Amino acid sequence: MNPEEILKKRWGYDSFKPLQKEAIEAALAGRDCLVVLPTGGGKSLCYQLPAASGKGLVLVVSPLIALMDDQVAAAREAGLAADSLHSNLRAAPKREAYANLNSGVTELLYVSPERLLVGDLYEVIGPRLILAAVDEAHCVSHWGHEFRPEYRRLTEALDNFPKAARMALTATATPVVQDDIRAQLGLRSPEILIGHPDRPNLIYRAFPRRDQFKQVLEVVRAHPGEGGIVYAQTRKDVERLAEKLKGEGVQTAPYHAGLNAEERRKAQDDFVNERLDVIVATIAFGMGIDRSNVRYVVHANTPRSVEHYQQESGRAGRDGLSADCTLLFSAADLMMHRWLAKKDLTLTPERERALEKQLRDIGRYAVSPVCRHGLLAEHFSAPYPVGEKAEDGCGACDVCLGETKGLPDDEALLTAKKVLSAAWRAEGRYGTGYVVNLLLGRPNDRMTGNGHDQLKVFGLLKEAGEPAVRSWIDQLIVQGFLEVTEENEYPLLRITAEGRALCQDKGTVRLGLPVPPKAGKKKSKVLKKAEKAGVVFLESDTELFEKLRTLRRALADKAGIPPYVICQDAALLEMAALKPMTLDALLKIKGMGEKRVEKYGRLLLDAIAGLPLPE
């Protein structure tokens, strides 16, 4: 069978996503390739389909131990003979995996880099290996956002398989990281397949953080009963936010490295298996998460880099349906990242320079009143999102939706001068709060004692309000016109040389402000999802969709696998709208391959026909 026939038979799709076919054809022809596709772009199919070709064994090296068992289950649902080998594997599945390997049954084998580097697998997999795929390949690069030293040793393992093609896959790689991946993994004249980084189904929003919990709760309440991830910077923040969300009746759990392994496993399993709506986590959570119907991701704190942000926000909407990604920004978060990094005694000058650039870039993304999709595309050296012009806007971010507005150039410059003048008059001897009070005209004993209540800058921005003034200070810090320095462990706000130059009309500045939301009738979440999936869906179809979701959940619980492994929400939406009555009609639903229809088809048809769900 050709790749298209295999795709339809095993996975139930009529056509490939961008660059999938090119990657598959390179692998089947024995050529190396570097594949950069956004999260949800279908990277796993690039190596799973060659495994289904019957030509030999495919090896996948992945750092995602927590996810491997789910990946194996998903591959088996497509009819592949798949196994994994990693340190968390129990004895029985481990024995089964070895038996399958030794008997030549295995078509797809997932291993952790540490497990592969032990070296005992080389002899057994070498003769049958047609493709060695390295997933999350950015981990190999010092310039990547999740550098892992063991990835730098993978070439010594791959060199044991000179005839096997090599495939490096990642969702996030700047041109510098791409070059590093090629060099570190020894890719031989590789085909370079770079997908557009834009995720048009994601709605990106970035707002100044004012009341962290209130802002998080607003997003959660906008998605009742739907899956969401809330990222926070510290374990303490995670525990606090999770506890307060529970107090509001939200089904949630915390996840961070300070919890014991069983607590982390349970939280992750409950979320992936849809027993929890929300998980509140540090960045320790997520690389092992493949739940396809996460409808929103909230960053309650600023992430450490644009790469981190794209990876973490990209866990929303993997099914291609609409999802919200909200970032709550404060310049204090960047200081915390810097402080935490400098506690690490192994931080080299090279890594420190990379960190500083990462912090500047994520700050610029978060505060610039410019199309968020465009900024992300620009960061990854891609053209503006496909099919759009910069002047038209993306229609899927806070700026283009009119939720954040940029101040006109002359107003932005005048406002910046007022803020900078206050910092200048405070002589760099006070923190942000003092300068805010100075601009708002709020006297206190300290200020009157210093005579600062008599300055011309006192009360200069009284009408703007505290949230706006704090936001403008953060925006000026990110743009390099202000800086926060420490003296006796106290953060002081100071004007920079660039700030002084701006006060003399040398330079340009951008400032923005959130716009109060407009009231209006909103479509139901299910109807929005159906629209995004291209399904003609009526409000009356919602009840059947929820019935099918309940059946999927019951089947998943019985099989001990996550619901998304059985089929995705988009397939259920199409079923609820089209109401197929035969197995052949069910095969025409996108994402329902032969194996899935064989296993679950009769139960799905019974549910559609109105029969009660099985006990």
Dump pLDDT digits (tens) for 97-155. Answer: 999 999 999 999 999 999 999 999 999 999 999 999 999 898 888 666 566 778 889 99
pLDDT at site 392? 65
Q: Alpha-carbon torsion 263, 266, 272, 278, what sign? A: negative
Residue 340 has pLDDT above 70, yes or no: yes
pLDDT at site 319? 86
Pairing of strands 191-194, 165-170: unpaired
533-546, pLDDT tens digit by residue?
A: 667 778 788 899 99
pLDDT at site 538? 80
pLDDT at site 172? 76
H/E element, 206: strand 202-208
576-600, pLDDT tens digit by residue?
A: 999 999 999 999 999 999 999 999 9
* Residue range 217-225: mean pLDDT, rounded: 93
DSSP H helices, 343-408, are: 349-367, 372-379
Quick one: 495 and 536 in the same domain?
no
431-484, pLDDT tens digit by residue?
A: 999 999 999 999 888 999 999 999 999 999 999 999 999 999 999 999 999 998
**Token reading at 9:** 């038979």
471-503, pLDDT tens digit by residue?
A: 999 999 999 999 988 776 788 999 999 999 999
280-308, pLDDT tens digit by residue?
A: 998 766 555 678 899 999 999 999 999 88
CA angle 567, 568, 571 (to 5 degrees): 85
| Number of Cβ atoms within 10 Å of the Cβ of 554 | 15
Quick one: 347 and 374 in the same domain?
yes
Pairing of strands 165-170, 33-36: parallel
* Residue range 506-513: mean pLDDT, rounded: 93
The CATH number for 213's domain is 3.40.50.300
Query: Does 91 fall in a domain?
Result: yes
Higher pLDDT, 202 or 515: 202
CA distance 380 to 368: 17
CA distance 425 to 418: 11
Please check whether residue 344 is in contact with residue 222, taking contact to mean a CB–CB distance below 8 angstroms: no
pLDDT at site 549? 92
Residue whose entry in the numeric block shows the structure tokens 């300055």: 455
Query: Does 507 fall in a domain?
Result: yes
86-110, pLDDT tens digit by residue?
A: 888 889 989 999 999 999 999 999 9
CA distance 311 to 173: 10
Residue 384 has pLDDT above 80, yes or no: no
- Buried b / exposed e over 418-439, threshold 16 CB at 10 Å, is bbbbbbbebeeebebebbbbbb
pLDDT at site 468? 93
Quick one: 437 and 532 in the same domain?
no
84: three-class secondary structure by DSSP: strand
Query: Does 532 fall in a domain?
Result: yes
Quick one: 427 and 363 in the same domain?
no
From 194, 212, 241, the end of a domain falls on: 194
For the chain, helix, strand, coil in percent to 5 are 45, 15, 40
The CATH number for 547's domain is 1.10.150.80
Q: Residue 337 to residues 143, 210, 330, 470: CA-CA distances in angstroms?
A: 17, 19, 12, 20
**Token reading at 243:** 């506890």
Nearest residue to 202 (alpha-carbon basis) of 29, 350, 319, 37: 319
Please check whether residue 512 is in contact with residue 368, taking contact to mean a CB–CB distance below 8 angstroms: yes
Residue 387 has pLDDT above 60, yes or no: no
pLDDT at site 140? 86
Quick one: 207 and 179 in the same domain?
no
Quick one: 163 and 29 in the same domain?
yes
Quick one: 395 and 433 in the same domain?
no
Quick one: 347 and 214 in the same domain?
yes
Please check whether residue 194 is in contact with residue 182, taking contact to mean a CB–CB distance below 8 angstroms: no
Q: DSSP letter at 430?
A: S
Quick one: 97 and 142 in the same domain?
yes
Query: Does 613 fall in a domain?
Result: no
CA distance 592 to 320: 16
What is the domain range of residue 33?
3-194
Residue 21 has pLDDT above 80, yes or no: yes
pLDDT at site 542? 87
Residue 382, φ and ψ in degrees, nearest 5? -110, 160
Nearest residue to 314 (alpha-carbon basis) of 292, 281, 334: 292
The CATH number for 421's domain is 1.10.10.10
| Count of structural domains within the chain | 4
Quick one: 236 and 331 in the same domain?
yes
pLDDT at site 406? 92
Q: Using 50, 70 and 90 to split pLDDT, how confident is the model at 311?
A: confident
* Residue range 551-560: mean pLDDT, rounded: 92
From 194, 225, 243, the end of a domain falls on: 194
For the sheet with 82-85, list strands across it.
82-85, 108-111, 57-61, 129-134, 165-170, 33-36, 191-194
From 476, 494, 514, the end of a domain falls on: 514
The dihedral over CA atoms of 395, 400, 401, 406, expressed in degrees to the nearest 10, equals 180
Residue whose entry in the numeric block shows the structure tokens 């150039």: 409
Amino acid at 224: P
Please check whether residue 165 is in contact with residue 131, taking contact to mean a CB–CB distance below 8 angstroms: yes
**Token reading at 462:** 């009284």
pLDDT at site 48? 97
Contacts of residue 596, Cβ cutoff 8 Å, sequence gap at least 6:
12, 77, 78, 566, 567
Please check whether residue 533 is in contact with residue 574, taking contact to mean a CB–CB distance below 8 angstroms: yes
Query: Does 614 fall in a domain?
Result: no
Residue 295, φ and ψ in degrees, nearest 5? -95, -10
CA distance 479 to 360: 8
Query: Does 519 fall in a domain?
Result: no
Contacts of residue 571, Cβ cutoff 8 Å, sequence gap at least 6:
12, 589, 590, 591, 592
Please check whether residue 60 is in contact with residue 84, taking contact to mean a CB–CB distance below 8 angstroms: no
329: three-class secondary structure by DSSP: strand
Quick one: 315 and 451 in the same domain?
no
Lowest mean per-residue pLDDT among 67-71, 159-163, 310-314: 67-71
Residue whose entry in the numeric block shows the structure tokens 């927590």: 66
* Residue range 388-398: mean pLDDT, rounded: 74
CA distance 109 to 1: 22
Residue 520 has pLDDT above 70, yes or no: no
* Residue range 246-260: mean pLDDT, rounded: 93
Lowest mean per-residue pLDDT among 17-21, 138-142, 318-322, 481-485: 138-142
Mean pLDDT value across the chain: 89
Q: Residue 457 to residues 34, 422, 432, 581: CA-CA distances in angstroms?
A: 56, 6, 15, 74
Quick one: 291 and 270 in the same domain?
yes
Radius of gyration of the chain (CA): 26
Q: Which parts of 300-426 are beta strand (E)? A: 323-329, 404-406
